[in-house]
């Protein structure tokens, strides 16, 4: 069995009286593509936020490679190797695609705090890295455009490239395909495959579209009203009676 | 060197040369005397420009509104004045001590400011500014209280060489300092550090999720800003040979913000243009009427409404638009696509595909 990379143990988070996440435990093994699914308001984003340090959970533990990171500041988690995207792309809208990636590459190369311009050799290295990242998500042709001018799908891809710029071990993608047309969904699916197959990354993602989840993920957790409803492989999930009854429409599963 | 850089160098050199020849006499007149302006007005203009640049580093680049930079400005003036008055410091020492005192002020309040953002940050800078104001106001025996304190302008120089600074030579010294600050500022905002500040202005959360401790960057920006304002204040104290509580007051802070916004936040030259308009406008209008503040205020309101990105900003934008000639097709309407939210932007997609 592969080693556990990221673990949540009985993680809970509530907002006032609303229990957004209720004692959820998952174990994400190195090299897997792990999906979190559930209806609107199930607590998927809140769970992501607790894992990535956007919120400190009210209860439970988050472990990364066995280290307790429950209360670690978010930027330190990124340095450890966890990066993420957001349900609404979080980018630098007025900066160009190139500059958006530059911030991350500077961070990864530990030169973001420098007051001196990078040397010519270093600059070349940085530019090559940015080209590589843009090549990966197919945005090279938009390099010098302000990100605000890009389509929603391209902004998503730019954000994914940004999350890669820090050289992560695991990427957390919150609904990377939400609101996209079919063609762009395909494009992002291919990118997620490549993250795993070509870059050897571990991927944790939230997604509504059952077809996408069942074809991409090797492990799935189903959340419903903050609680864990089921957990397992795609075939276990699609055959689970609980999931069928509680969440998934019968026809959805029959089609797969 | 790319075209924009070249333009930057040319603008900088042209501006400094222009500023240098303004007071020069041709026959019995100079440009200044023809405008009935005193050379010390130009010194004031340069020093206010530096103070407005210190606000610009925070608002225009980092996205943090400071209504308290006059506190550093005043600390600089008092630091210089007190050290000259009580400790017999020379000009250079006075300027350095003034700057250092402002920096210490920044070190003291910085950790508290770091915890706040947006309007709370602005209010806290205002509150801290007033704390320093009241200290200067209250410490009667030491600072002269409400009336302020006069002090002499020491010789400029080092042991072995020194010169007397008259208004003219003082101005050229200020021009030198200003040029140095401008170059320093330009280097900072272009550096990896400066680019990270600009990223923080746009989206601090994303900066953190790129593995950067944004607080560390903001703290250093606060210190640089405090030191710049302190230097400007120390030299301003040496210019008018006086330090008073009003220099630390929120109204003074507001003037720096106004100067920056007049010219255009987020650009290197904006505060300089703003300062030119403010100082000269104030000088001309105040000879005509007692209630000059009303007119400056009105001018400010008109400018903000007519030129939302500042006088310089608006000018540059219009030049840039003519220059590049709308690289993005109109039907792409990218901004609209973005504002209308998620799945929009089909037009933008089309435009991208056309390009690729
Ligand atoms: N900051 C917040 N303050 C208060 N309540 C919140 C907050 N964030 C989320 N919630 C509530 O917590 C619950 C879970 O929300 P969450 O955003 O995690 O759901 P989700 O599964 O990501 O939904 P979606 O599919 O719509 O993105 C919801 O009831 C939501 O209203
Ligand atoms: Mg969500």
Predicted ipTM of the assembly: 0.94
| Residue A221 Cβ < 6 Å to ligand 1 | no
List chain A domain ranges: 4-254
Tokens matching residue A124? 């070349």
CB contact under 8 A, A113 and B193: yes
Mean pLDDT, to the nearest integer, of B90-111?
95
Instruction: In whole angstroms, give the CA distance from residue A149 to residue B328.
Output: 9
DSSP SS3 for A59: strand
Which class is A4-254 in CATH? Answer: alpha beta
Of B187, B195, B355, the CB nearest to A141: B355
| Residue A254 Cβ < 6 Å to ligand 1 | no
pLDDT of the residue at B140: 72
Mean pLDDT, to the nearest integer, of B99-118?
95
CB contact under 8 A, B195 and A99: yes
pLDDT score of B355 more than 60: no
Number of H helices, E strands in chain A: 10, 10
Distance from CA of A17 to the nearest CA of B (A): 26
Beta carbons within 10 angstroms of residue B338's beta carbon: 20
Tokens 């080209």 belong to residue: A131
pLDDT of the residue at A249: 54
Phi, psi of B243 (to 5 degrees): -135, 135
Interchain CB contacts (distance < 8 Å): A and B: 132
CB contact under 8 A, B203 and A75: no
Atom of ligand 1 nearest to the CA of A44: 21
Of B203, B208, B352, the CB nearest to A150: B352
Question: Helices A120-137 and A182-197: crossing angle, nearest 10°?
Answer: 120
Gyration radius of chain B over CA positions: 22
CB contact under 8 A, A152 and B344: yes
Instruction: In whole angstroms, give the CA distance from residue B26 to residue A231.
Output: 87
For domain B34-355, give the CATH number. Answer: 1.10.3470
Atom of ligand 1 nearest to the CA of A46: 18
Q: Give the pLDDT band (50/70/90) at residue B318.
A: low
Q: Give the pLDDT band (50/70/90) at residue A96.
A: very high
Buried b (16+ CB within 10 A) or exposed e, B57-96: bbbbbbbbbbbbbbbbbbbbbbbbbbbbbeeebbbebbbb
Mean pLDDT, to the nearest integer, of A91-108?
96
Best B199, B227, B327, B343 residue to mutate vs chain A (most A CBs within 10 Å): B199
Mean pLDDT, to the nearest integer, of B94-122?
94
Beta carbons within 10 angstroms of residue B39's beta carbon: 20
DSSP bridge partners of B243: B149
Cα separations in angstroms, B290 against B255, B285, B295, B296: 18, 8, 10, 12
| Residue A89 Cβ < 6 Å to ligand 1 | no
The closest ligand to the CA of A43 turns out to be 1
Of A90, A112, A184, the CB nearest to B206: A90
Residue of B31 and B54 predicted with greater confidence: B54
Query: What is the residue-averaged pLDDT of chain B?
Result: 83
Query: What is the residue-averaged pLDDT of chain A?
Result: 91
Instruction: In whole angstroms, give the CA distance from residue B165 to residue B92.
Output: 12
Tokens 């939210």 belong to residue: B341
Question: Helices B118-138 and B91-113: crossing angle, nearest 10°?
Answer: 140
Percent of chain A with pLDDT over 90: 78
pLDDT of the residue at B327: 37
The closest ligand to the CA of A55 turns out to be 1
Of A73, A84, A112, the CB nearest to B196: A112
Phi, psi of B162 (to 5 degrees): -155, 165
CB contact under 8 A, A141 and B210: no
CB contact under 8 A, A148 and B199: no
Write out pLDDT tens, residues A130-164: 999 999 999 999 999 999 999 999 999 999 999 99
| Residue A38 Cβ < 6 Å to ligand 1 | yes
Write out pLDDT tens, residues B135-169: 888 887 777 888 889 898 988 877 777 777 788 88
In angstroms, what is the span from residue A136 Cα to ligand 1's centroid? 32
Atom of ligand 1 nearest to the CA of A21: 14
pLDDT of the residue at A94: 93
| Residue A37 Cβ < 6 Å to ligand 1 | no
Locate all alpha helices (DSSP H) within chain A, ordered by sequence: 44-52, 74-80, 97-108, 120-137, 152-165, 182-197, 210-216, 234-239, 241-246, 250-255
CB contact under 8 A, B343 and A104: no
């Amino acid at each position: 069995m592969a080693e556990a990379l990221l673990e949540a143990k009985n993680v809970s988070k509530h907002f006032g009286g609303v229990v957004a996440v209720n004692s959820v435990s998952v174990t994400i093994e190195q090299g897997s593509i792990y999906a979190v699914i559930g209806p609107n308001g199930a607590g998927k984003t809140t769970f992501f936020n607790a894992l990535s340090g956007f919120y400190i959970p009210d209860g439970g533990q988050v472990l990364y490679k066995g280290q307790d990171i429950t209360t670690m500041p978010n930027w330190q988690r990124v340095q450890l190797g966890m990066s993420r995207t957001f349900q609404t792309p979080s980018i630098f809208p007025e900066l160009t695609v190139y500059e958006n990636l530059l911030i991350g590459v500077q961070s990864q190369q530990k030169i973001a705090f420098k007051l001196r311009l990078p040397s010519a050799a270093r600059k070349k290295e940085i530019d090559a890295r940015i080209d590589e990242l843009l090549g990966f998500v197919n945005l090279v042709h938009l390099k010098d455009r302000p990100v605000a001018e890009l389509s929603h799908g391209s902004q998503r891809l730019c954000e994914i490239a940004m999350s890669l710029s820090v050289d992560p071990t695991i990427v957390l993608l919150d609904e990377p395909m939400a609101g996209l047309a079919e063609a762009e969904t395909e494009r992002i699916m291919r990118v997620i495959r490549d993250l795993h197959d070509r870059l050897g990354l571990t991927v944790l993602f939230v997604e509504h579209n059952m077809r996408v989840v069942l074809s991409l993920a090797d492990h799935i957790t189903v959340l419903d009203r903050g609680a864990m409803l089921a957990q397992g492989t795609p075939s276990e999930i699609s055959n689970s009676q609980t999931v069928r009854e509680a969440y998934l429409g019968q026809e959805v599963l029959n089609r797969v | 060197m790319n075209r924009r850089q070249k333009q930057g160098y040319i603008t900088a050199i042209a501006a400094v040369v222009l500023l240098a020849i303004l007071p020069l006499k041709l026959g019995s007149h100079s440009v200044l005397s023809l405008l009935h302006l005193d050379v010390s007005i130009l010194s004031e203009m340069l020093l206010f420009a530096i103070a407005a640049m210190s606000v610009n580093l925070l608002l225009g680049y980092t996205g943090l509104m400071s209504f308290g930079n006059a506190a550093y400005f005043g600390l600089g003036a008092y630091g210089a004045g007190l050290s000259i008055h009580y400790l017999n410091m020379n000009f250079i020492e006075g300027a350095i001590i003034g700057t250092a005192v402002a920096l210490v002020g920044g070190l003291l309040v910085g950790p508290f400011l770091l915890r706040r953002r947006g309007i709370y940050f602005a209010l806290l800078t205002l509150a801290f500014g007033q704390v320093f104001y009241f200290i200067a106001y209250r410490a009667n025996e030491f600072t002269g209280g409400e009336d302020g304190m006069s002090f002499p302008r020491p010789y400029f120089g080092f042991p072995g060489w020194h010169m007397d600074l008259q208004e003219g030579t003082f101005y050229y010294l200020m021009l030198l300092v200003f040029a140095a600050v401008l170059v320093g500022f330009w280097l900072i905002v272009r550096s990896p550090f400066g680019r990270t500040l600009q990223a923080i202005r746009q989206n601090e959360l994303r900066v953190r999720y790129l593995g950067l401790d944004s607080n560390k960057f903001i703290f250093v920006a606060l210190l640089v800003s405090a030191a710049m304002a302190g230097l400007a204040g120390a030299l301003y104290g040496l210019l008018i040979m006086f330090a008073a509580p009003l220099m630390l007051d929120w109204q003074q802070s507001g003037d720096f913000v106004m100067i920056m916004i007049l010219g255009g936040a987020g650009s290197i030259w904006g505060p300089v243009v703003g300062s030119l308009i403010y100082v000269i406008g104030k000088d001309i209008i105040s000879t005509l009427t007692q209630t000059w503040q009303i007119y400056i205020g009105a001018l400010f309101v008109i400018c903000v409404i007519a030129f939302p990105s500042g006088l310089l900003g608006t000018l540059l934008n219009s030049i840039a638009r003519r220059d590049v000639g709308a690289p993005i097709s109109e039907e792409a309407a990218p901004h609209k696509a973005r504002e209308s939210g998620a799945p929009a932007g089909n037009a933008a997609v089309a435009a991208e595909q056309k390009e690729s």
